[in-house]
Amino acid sequence: MASTAERDAMRRALAIAERGPRGVNPQVGAVLLSPDGEVLAEGWHRGAGTPHAEVDALSRLAPGAARGATAVVTLEPCNHTGRTGPCSEALIAAGVARVVYAVDDPGARSSGGGSRLREAGVDVESGLLSGEGHELLDSWLAVQRLGRPHVTVKWAQSLDGRAAASDGTSKWITGSTARADVHRRRSLADVIVVGTGTVLADDPALTARAEDGSLRDHQPVPVVLGARAVPDDAALHGHPHRFLQFSGDLVAVLDDLRLRGAHRVFVEGGPTVAASFLREGLADELLVYIAPVLLGGDMLAVRDIGVDTIAHARRLTVASVLPLGDDLLVVATPHGETAPGAPAAADAEQEGDA
């Protein structure tokens, strides 16, 4: 049973973990306690190729000073060699007597640190403040589970499922409250994706803005799908981040984005791009903003997704329906098994490998 000192140390480890960068590697914090519960040292992971949190904390002590200590860590100590050595072995070599961690490492190669420590006679307790630990690592854990970034596909539509009027005009189908919600959700993403058709037709800035029009602190990296050139005077060139452009296989695109450290991908346009992610089974969440207007015509919000009969319909689970001014937001996720075409979860790069 974890002590009060260990619980306090875990809260501290969770707080300092956030000092590290969010990307390919998880944010991890560690606190070393003496046998009587006093803090000896603390550390966190500062990015790929740098010492892991446990080793960072150990490095702050004189040789032998950690003997008999307790290591409190937000993530199970790794048990493999990447750019750095196994944390499990470093803790054993330092003479640590007890290890307490919040979240099990899901990696096929990096997990097993808890078992290795137990084999060496170290007392191990897992799951301390696991809820807070999972909250800290939520997006990183999703990448490990999926083998790619988590993908949200968003579109706005009329009540009859149209994205634009017959002349192509689409600003604005939804009202200001719905648009503000979109910008808030953009700011939570690492990457925002559109097709070249949207860039050429609408010239979007793809920034995340506050209600007063100012830029939010966090801006997603813009990604353009398609081979057509982005004009030199496109608004995208004014984005705080340089945009990336890809063409070809979406799975390869997502793998590239994962290796760049992207956890959350926000797909925002247009109907062809949205359909591509849906057709390939690569949409983990749908955000559908529905305005109480009728447009008619053939400007559908989503193009062909490969459904040729009702039996092949992509079934969804509605997670929530939120009123936003006069509009509605429907949040939905794929129902049941992963849709056909979705890649199996890969053994993604773990802390220290990239």
Counting Cβ atoms within 10 Å, is residue 150 exposed (0-12), middle (13-18) or buried (19+)? buried
Phi then psi for 322, rounded to 5 degrees? -115, 125
The secondary element (H helix, E strand) that includes residue 328 is strand 327-334
Residue 24: strand pairing partners: none
Long-range contacts of 41-44 (CB under 8 A, 24+ apart): 41/66, 42/12, 42/13, 42/16, 43/16, 44/16, 44/17, 44/19, 44/20
**Pairing, β 285-291 against β 327-334:** antiparallel
Which segments within 145-201 are labelled E, that is strand?
Answer: 150-158, 191-195
Active site residue 54: yes
Residue of 242, 194, 187, 265 lying closest to 219 (CA atoms): 187
C-alpha 274/C-alpha 278 separation (Å) is 6
Residue matched to tokens 């057509």: 228
Active-site residue identified among 6, 18, 38, 54? 54
For the record, the structure tokens of 209 come out as: 């803005």
Active-site annotation, residues: 54
